[in-house]
Structure 1
Amino acid sequence: MDSDQRTRAQAFVDLHREGCFLLPNAWDAGSARILESVGFPAIATTSAGVAFSFGRPDHDFFAEHGEHGRVDRPTMMRRIHEITGAVRVPVSADLEEGYGPDAQEVATTISLAIDAGAAGGNIEDFTGDRATPLFDEVHAVDRVRAARAAVAAAGEPFVLVGRTDALLVDAGLDEAIRRANAYLAAGADCAFVPGAADAATIATLVDALDGPLNVVMGLTGGGLSMTELADLGVRRVTVGGSIARLLYRHLLDAATELSEHGTFTYGDTQLTQTALNAHFADRT
């Protein structure tokens, strides 16, 4: 990590000390530059968006996608490096479950993400196996502890996020709270509980957790605003793959119009070449 990246990484650490901020998710250098251009102080990656950009399914129950379905770790690290090199703001990396069940694999993934310029990253407890969707809690804690050790060994500023998918697999709010607190105690700087999207659930989490909370919004549209989330005590908000899915919605609509109607009205709302060139102009 060079000195500029280190400065950005420390700024990212500082963002987590107080208040509430939005961390939108990019999937390539172009989307990252667009998000940066409107003034966000930091961005995250989305493993879903990256997977879609390669024509692959998101990991989900990835054991069912076949050997070549999932984006592998080297490919993901190259994409993370492309994104961190394209922007001047800190980047937090979606590292899924750490690309392996073993704690040492998680540690290696964290080290690779830091080498790729990431200022933070999340490790989740989702196994990808429908029969046992969450890692055993003791093992999940060991994985977070190994991630923390890798951060310490690197000696760089880095926000480690412990993510539990307990709500997504219907394990219940009590288990989500217990796991999130266990990950915080094991060294996570922030807890992430996807599936918490209503005020009552989020308020319960904020009150029960021993550290800052990340929630993901935008997956089903509408819902709570940033002002409301800040009032609830949320520290940071991500949007997952929702922006990427929106763009693919527009792509599918345009393709359908061309195929079924032979018309070109989709072009009426496109960004101009000049506008995009301005966003992507060399800033050196």
Structure 2
Amino acid sequence: MAADVADLKTRAERLRELHSEEMLVLPNAWDAASATIVAEAGFPAVATASAAISAMLGYPDGEGAPWQEMFAAAGRVARVVSVPVTVDAEAGYGMEPRELVDRLLDIGAVGCNLEDTDHQAGGLVEAGAHAQWLAGVRSAADDAEVPIVINARVDTFLPASGIPEPDRVTESIRRGRLYRDAGADCIYPIGVRQKHDLATLVTELPGPVNGNTGEYLDLATLREMGVARVSYGPRFYRAALADLKTAVQELLA
């Protein structure tokens, strides 16, 4: 295990506290260097982005990369920072809850994103089954005596979910409540673009809600709405590559 249980427990408890204080902003990292930049800037926690890490490793997002490589990259992030680290663990890579918890703790992570997309079959996992699996993750974390922070991602707003647009808010609330009852600490309805939709979700979902910035949703608006956590996914990774592309192309001019 990368750190002793007492240290991991302290970090996990701190990560949970951050969800009830000032809005937690997480500019997602993808390697040791980007994680160091985020931590040295003063952010109180570091989150990884699976889309960025898988791309860096040369694989597609959506569990296209071997979990061993994804966890190794996330472990390098946790190794170089002293703040809590939460890992985008996609849909859990088919692991049983105890194995997932053990592997997270082995790399020094104290939080995880877990999404309800079925990457093998397409569409969404049945909500009740996913809630039961999340409950297993919570139970395994309790057994390990480290209160890992579970950010349960609800993928109903993603086109690949197959959920008709008029039903997305209602289905997000239904799923989010199930996941919260199962032991999730935060609910993450990814892909919400409209302020009124997100406002309804913040009101109707119990506990902290993870939002994203967008055309109509800047940080000030999200803070005013009561969003507890904001993440950026691969946005900064893509921006860094865009800057690199511009720089190298200028060498050929």
Residue 208 of structure 1 and its aligned partner are, at CA, apart by 0.7
Say if 1:145 and 1:38 are closer, same or farther in 2 by CA, change over 3 A. Answer: same
Output one character per residue of 1:37-78: Cα deviation in whole Å (capped at 9) or x when no partner. 11111110011111111122222xx6xxxxxxx211111111
* Residue 170 (structure 2) pairs with residue 174 (structure 1): yes
In 2: Cα distance, 1:4 partner to 1:152 partner: 15
Identity among equivalent positions (%) equals: 36
Partner SS state of residue 122, structure 1? strand
Structure 2: runs of 5+ lacking an equivalent: none
Query: What residue in structure 2 maps to residue 215 of structure 1?
Result: 211
Equivalent of residue 116 in structure 1, options 107, 110, 118: 107
In 1: Cα distance, 2:135 partner to 2:182 partner: 5
In 2: Cα distance, 1:137 partner to 1:240 partner: 24
Structure 1: runs of 5+ lacking an equivalent: 63-69, 264-284
Query: What residue in structure 2 maps to residue 194 of structure 1?
Result: 190
Residue 253 of structure 1 and its aligned partner are, at CA, apart by 2.5
In 2: Cα distance, 1:118 partner to 1:202 partner: 28
Query: What residue in structure 2 maps to residue 151 of structure 1?
Result: 141
Residue 15 of structure 1 and its aligned partner are, at CA, apart by 0.8
In 1: Cα distance, 2:10 partner to 2:206 partner: 27
Partner SS state of residue 16, structure 2? helix
Equivalent of residue 153 in structure 2, options 151, 163, 167: 163
Q: TM-score scaled to structure 1, two decimals? A: 0.81
* Residue 36 (structure 2) pairs with residue 40 (structure 1): no
Within 5 A, what are the aligned runs for 1:48-63?
A: 48-59=51-62
In 2, are the aligned partners of 1:97 and 1:106 still within 8 Å (CA)?
A: no
- For the aligned residues, what is the CA RMSD? 1.8
Residue 257 of structure 1 and its aligned partner are, at CA, apart by 3.4
In 1: Cα distance, 2:17 partner to 2:144 partner: 18
Runs of 4+ in structure 1 off by over 4 angstroms are none
In 1: Cα distance, 2:36 partner to 2:154 partner: 29
In 2, are the aligned partners of 1:47 and 1:94 still within 8 Å (CA)?
A: yes
Say if 1:5 and 1:132 are closer, same or farther in 2 by CA, change over 3 A. Answer: closer
Residue 170 of structure 1 and its aligned partner are, at CA, apart by 4.8
In 2: Cα distance, 1:254 partner to 1:110 partner: 41
Output one character per residue of 1:101-149: Cα deviation in whole Å (capped at 9) or x when no partner. xxx52442222112211121111111124x6410112211111111111
Residue 225 of structure 1 and its aligned partner are, at CA, apart by 2.3
In 2: Cα distance, 1:157 partner to 1:121 partner: 11
In 2, are the aligned partners of 1:99 and 1:106 still within 8 Å (CA)?
A: no
Q: Which letter maps to 1:228?
A: T
Q: TM-score scaled to structure 2, two decimals? A: 0.90
In 2, are the aligned partners of 1:197 and 1:215 still within 8 Å (CA)?
A: no
Within 5 A, what are the aligned runs for 1:1-284?
A: 1-2=3-4, 3-59=6-62, 70-100=64-94, 105-129=96-120, 132-168=122-158, 169-171=161-163, 172-217=168-213, 222-258=215-251, 262-263=252-253
The structure with the larger Rg is: 1
Q: How many residues align?
A: 244
Partner SS state of residue 26, structure 1? coil
Partner SS state of residue 96, structure 2? helix
